[in-house]
Every structure is written in structure tokens, then in C-alpha cells.
Amino acid sequence: MYVAVKGGEAAIANAHSLLADRRRGDRSVPALRLDQIVEQLALGVDRVMSEGSLYDRELAALAIVQSRGDLIEAIFLVRAYRTTLPRFGYSKPIDTGTMLVERRVSATYKDLPGGQLLGPTFDYTHRLLDPELAAGADVAQPLLRETEAQAMPRVSAILAREGLIEPDGEMPQDHVPGDITREPLEFPMARDIRLQALSRGDEGFLLALGYSTQRGYARNHPFVGEIRIGEVELELDVPELPFAVPLGTVRVTECQMVNQFKGSAKAPPQFTRGYGLVFGQSERKAMAMALCDRALRAKELGEDVVAAAQDEEFVISHSDNVQATGFVEHLKLPHYVDFQAELDLVRRMRAEHDAHQNPVKVEEKREAAE
Amino acid sequence: MTDIATYNFAYLDEQTKRMIRRAILKGIAIPGYQVPFASREMPMPYGWGTGGVQVTASIIGPDDVLKVIDQGADDTTNAVSIRAFFKKVANVAVTTDTASATIIQTRHRIPEHPLTAGQVLVYQVPIPEPLRFLEPRETETRKMHALEEYGLMHVKLYEDIAKHGRIATTYAYPVKVEGRYVMDPSPTPKFDNPKMHRSPALQLFGAGREKRIYAVPPFTEVVSLDFEDHPFEVQTFDQPCALCAAENVYLDEVILDDHGGHMFVCSDTDHCEKRRADGHHGHLAPENHLASEKMEPAQ
């Protein structure tokens, strides 16, 4: 006896109330507060801000707790909120040369103006689980020193003085920076658009592609010219005022890869650049982005496009994890209508196939009998 | 805590709606041409109807009556979810009745009840490019459309016939619109293709993730690709709907037990319910048995 399946509405409501229950978990355990997430899961918050393209720690923390710690879901929540916000202007380009630096390392020079600053890094920690942390041990105050007045020039500027590295990319005078949240992507794309897409691209995807370039799929001989993490000031041009208005500061991670380049028909032998910039502290993402950026410049530099990481349409079309997760997961939506059509086709083709096979079998049997 | 903004009528801000309406108008002016548009992140995932939702949100007004179907049914979970979304953000009247809807958003089906002038059918489209599985590059496929270079598609259909004795495409069957653009009708079964031809309703297609909108204006030629000696044909079913005895409609196969028992019922639930209310009974309709109360919501 067939019972018509109805009540999708009630099922959805019930599923969501179960979700809310599971999200909260055991009620005898205190609920997470947003400031706890902001303070103690800061790198997760940074990833959500960076790939969600919205610099707001509290909203990112809310998204993380609402998504039960599923960061791609949290990024999606932030994006869906961000897209409804009015756009009242574009900030001036940030100057990472004047960054209030907390970490800065260079792999190309042993020492350099401003020095090497390790900052809060996992590097050189031994990855041993810490039972004291589980026991809630107190954490000692860190040693801090006064900020130095000495400027910390970017390594690329030091190399540029000798003319050994290509200049920073220039856009034509009348070039208006694109906005991938307001214009559909078109291929091929200018580098400003590409960098925007990479900056919000999925960390894991870019990591894998960057890794592939190191393993020989479009090898581009990279050195970390510099990674710096710290606060930079944001400024906005307001038409009524003769000067740019400071809006506050944002924490960013910048990575400048310096890549060996033997020269081509289009460019002389020199070091070339790969660039990564993301919100918050995310070295892995910034480095992967810089590797991908350099790989994607293949055409511009006259290199052969031979690997996935150099293929702009492939990389940029698939780097957005909100798009990717939506489309992959839509496969669990009902497809019975199309499946029915395919069932019908396969049944007909099977029937024809059997009809075609059977006379042969009959023939074989007769031969065997003879 | 940041103030969470209240949302505009139908969710999207008016600037965005204007941008989408421009894309729709361009699509109507060039039937079958895929217009790129700056698709927004929506509060439902990409691939779950964001394109259709954006199109509907841009054209819907307070007086509209909305119907949402998925697989032909009004009560599939995603249809329920999208209908609830518009009820919430636009406060519009919703219906399951095909004839009284002004806007019908659909995934994978065209209603059995013929559409009329003034109605708009909004399709949710996953992959708008009919040539995508023959040529993965957008830069190439756009060129092919511009040059009306559709040989590759005909070769594919021909190879189907050579290999399988028939065109082995059962849904998302490519059509040519007004003799110019080859268009993906969205993954509707080819059974529905003839309904698109010279339909009095406006047909709009939204692909959110792929950022494309296209349109078929009312009374436009929509021809399924075929060959003279292998003409296009739709699926046929050997039996009528088990509930309402309808013939020449698209049927879903429902598994009844684990011994191979199955029945075929209308995929269009509104059509099926209307027919049963009019007194049509299939051989497995509950009225033929004792337990009509079993039609009440299950679970």
C-alpha cells in the first residue's frame, strides 16, 4: 500500500531543531561564548574572515559556533551575510611596508634591516600533545619588547634596488580595480581579479596546487622572500574631504615569493614575484596563494602552460569552497525524475542487448551439441 | 554585537535586483543566449537553486502568487524550503495550483497543466552550458556559440546513434532556440522539451554558481536537436499513473517492497491530486482500498 510522502515542512523543522540540540550538546557543559572563540580559536576565526571576505572577528566566531566548527559552513554563513551589506566605497591600497609587524621572516637573507622576527609561530614547536593544556594550566606572560621606530622595508624592495627582480606589477593608468563580488568572472582575467579570487579561495585547494608546483607540475623555483604578519591601517577617500580618512587597522599576512626565472622571449632573466595576501594570520594560505599566483603568471611571462596550477580557468573556477561545497552536496537533492529517465533508457538498452545476445547463445548450444 | 540588518523585500537589495533584471531583459532580447551576471551569495547553497531564487527574487512583486516545485512535486524538501524562504522574505501568496500561480519556480520538471500567457516559469539551472561536457573551457564554448559552431554537438548525437542505436540523452536534452542558440533546457527529462516550444509563458533560466541567466520569450521556437532519420522522441510509459490513471504524463517509479514490487505515479503532484479530486482513480489509488486515512501525512 503506497502512502504519499507528505510533510516535508514538518520534517525540515524537526531536523533543524535536532540540529540546534546537537549543536548545543550536553547542557551541563557551559555554552561557548563568542569571545572565547575569538581569543582561543583565533586562527580558525582568521580563516573564516579571510575566505568569507569579511573582516569581523565576532561575526566569524558566531558563524563558527553556529556551524558547529565546520569552517566551510561558517565561511558560507559569513558570505551570505556579507553579500547583503551596502557598498559605500573602496579603501585605498594598504601599505604593508608600514605594517606594525609581529612576525617577519625571510628565507633569502640571513639578516636584513628590521631583522628576523619569529613572532607567535608553530614553527620549531615539537608537535607533542600537551596534557597540561588539557588540565587547564596557567600560561605565563610572554616577553615583549618595545616596537622599534626603525622601518622594516620589504625584501622585494631591497632586491628591486639592484634591479634583480621584476618591478611590482603595474596596471594601466585608467585601470579600475575589479570586484569579483560585483562582476561575473570572465576569462582570461587581469591579475587584480585573480588575486582577489585566490585570496578568498579554499586553503586546502590552493595548498594542494601550490604543493604540486613544488613537485614538478609547473615548477617555479620559489624562495620565501618574506612573510610578514601584522596590523596595517585602512584608509578611505571621502569625496567631501581633501585627505584620506583612517578607518582602523586590519591584521594581514603577506607572502612575497621570489622565483628564479631564466628569461623568455617576453622577459629578461631576473627574479619574478608570486604574491599572497590574506586577512588574519594564515601563513600556509598566503604561501600557497603566492605559489599559485606565480604559476598562473605563466602566459604573461611566456612560459609553457603544462600543469593544472598554471591553468587560470581551472584554478579560479574551482577555488571557491562555498561554490564547490554547494554543488558537490547538491547531489543529495532528489534527482528521481532524471534517474527515472536513465532507468528507462538502461532497461530498453538491456532488453535490446539481451535480444541480440540470445540468438548467439542458441547458436552456440547447437554447435556444442553437434 | 553587530546589528544584523533587516532584509529588503525578497531578500536582494534593489541595486542587485536591477542588475539581474537587466540581465533578464538582455536574455529575453537574445533568446537562448547565456547572459553573464554578478550572481550573489544566497542564504542557500550554490547548486540548490540560487540562480532560480535570484531570478524569482528580482521579478516577484507583492501581488504575485508563487508556486515552487522540485521533481514536479510541491512537497519535496528543497521546494518546501524555497517556498518558505519567499513566504518569509517577500510575504507573497504561495500555491500548489499550477493554473493560479503567476510565477512557478522549478527544478527538473515543467508542470503537466499547460501554462498560459502572463505566467513566468523560472528554472533552476546547474550547468547552463549545453556544450560543457564536450568542451570544458568557457573561453572556447563562448566562441563556439558566437560562431554558431555546433558541429561538435551533432557529432556527439551521431556517435550515440552509432554506438547505442539511439540518442542516449534522456534529460538536459539540447534544444535550438529560435533557430540560433543551442540551449540547455536544464536537467528536465526530454519528455518536457516539447512543452517549451511556443509556450505562451515566459521562461527564465537562472544559474547562480555559474553566473548565467538566459530566457525563452513567449511563443518562441524551441526545437530539440535530432536527425531526419532519427527524429526526436519523448519517453513513453507502458502503464498509466497508479493513483490517477493519467496517461501521457511523466511518471516516477516508487518502490513498494524489497521483492521487486513497484508502481508508477505522476511526478507532478498537483496534477495527480487534481485528477483524483475530479474522480479519476488508478488501480492502486487508496479509494480502491479501505484505508483512505493512510493518505494523511506519513511519519
Size of interface A-B (CB pairs under 8 A): 161
Both ends of chain A: CA-CA distance in Å? 53
- Determine if residue B114 is left, alpha or beta; phi over 0 gives left, psi from -120 to 50 gives alpha, anything else beta: beta
Q: Is A59 on the interface with B (CB under 8 A)?
A: yes
Does the annotation mark B244 as catalytic?
A: yes
Query: A326 to chain B: which residues are within 8 Å by CB?
Result: 45-48, 50, 209
Does the annotation mark B260 as catalytic?
A: no
Does the annotation mark B272 as catalytic?
A: yes
Per-residue pLDDT tens digits of chain B, which is 299 residues long: 445 446 789 999 999 999 999 999 999 999 999 999 999 999 999 999 999 999 999 999 999 999 999 999 998 889 999 999 999 899 999 999 999 999 999 999 999 999 999 999 999 999 999 999 999 999 999 999 999 999 999 999 999 999 988 898 999 999 999 999 999 999 999 999 999 999 999 999 999 999 999 999 999 999 999 999 999 999 999 999 999 999 999 999 988 888 888 899 999 999 999 999 999 999 888 765 444 444 444 44
Contact B297 A6 (CB under 8 A): yes
Using CB atoms and an 8 Å cut-off, which of residues 214-253 of chain B contact chain A? Answer: 235, 242-243, 250-253
- Determine if residue B6 is left, alpha or beta; phi over 0 gives left, psi from -120 to 50 gives alpha, anything else beta: beta
What does pTM read for this prediction? 0.88
Q: How far apart are CA B13 and CA A368, in angstroms?
A: 78
Output the average pLDDT for chain A.
90
Among the residue ranges A147-161, A248-262, B190-204, the one predicted with the least confidence is: A147-161
- Pick B170's closest partner by Cβ from A5, A10, A344: A344
Whether pLDDT at A183 is above 80: yes
Contact B211 A184 (CB under 8 A): yes
Using CB atoms and an 8 Å cut-off, which of residues 184-223 of chain A contact chain B? Answer: 184-188
Query: B8 to chain A: which residues are within 8 Å by CB?
Result: 84
As for the ipTM of the complex, it is: 0.82
**Beta strands B120-124 and B103-107: pairing type?**
parallel
Asked if A320 and B135 touch (Cβ cutoff 8 Å), the reply is: no
Q: Is A356 on the interface with B (CB under 8 A)?
A: no
pLDDT of residue A251: 98
Q: Is B190 on the interface with A (CB under 8 A)?
A: yes
Q: Between A305 and B294, where is the model more confident?
A: A305
Each residue of A269-304: pLDDT tens digit?
889 999 999 999 999 999 999 999 999 999 998 889
Helix (H, G, I), strand (E, B) or coil at A166: coil
Q: Is B117 on the interface with A (CB under 8 A)?
A: no
Query: B38 to chain A: which residues are within 8 Å by CB?
Result: 181-184
**CB-based burial label for A305 (10 Å; 0-12, 13-18, 19+):** middle
Contact B45 A352 (CB under 8 A): no
Using CB atoms and an 8 Å cut-off, which of residues 129-188 of chain A contact chain B? Answer: 181-188
Amino acid in the structure at residue B121 = L
Q: How far is CA A65 from the centre of its chain?
A: 20
Q: Enumerate residues 6+ apart whose C-beta is below 8 A from A52.
A: A60, A63, A74, A75, A76, A77, A78, A79, A82, A200
Q: Is B280 on the interface with A (CB under 8 A)?
A: no
Q: Is A12 on the interface with B (CB under 8 A)?
A: yes
CA count, 13 A, side-chain hemisphere, A358: 6
The proportion of chain A whose per-residue pLDDT surpasses 70, expressed as a percent, equals: 94
Q: What confidence tier does A263 reach under pLDDT thresholds 50, 70, 90? A: confident
C-alpha radius of gyration, chain A, whole number: 27
Contact B289 A1 (CB under 8 A): yes
Q: Enumerate residues 6+ apart whose C-beta is below 8 A from A148.
A: A114
Q: Which of A1, A2, A18, A181 to mutate to test the interface with B (most CBs of B within 10 A)?
A: A2
Contact B209 A327 (CB under 8 A): yes
- Pick B41's closest partner by Cβ from A188, A322, A340: A322
Q: How far apart are CA B109 and CA A338, in angstroms?
A: 9
Contact A326 B188 (CB under 8 A): no
Each residue of B80-120: pLDDT tens digit?
999 999 998 999 999 999 999 999 999 999 999 999 999 99
pLDDT of residue A260: 85
Q: Between A329 and A369, where is the model more confident?
A: A329
Using CB atoms and an 8 Å cut-off, which of residues 133-152 of chain B contact chain A? Answer: 137-139
- Chain B nearest-CA distance from A208, in A, is 22
Query: B299 to chain A: which residues are within 8 Å by CB?
Result: 7, 11
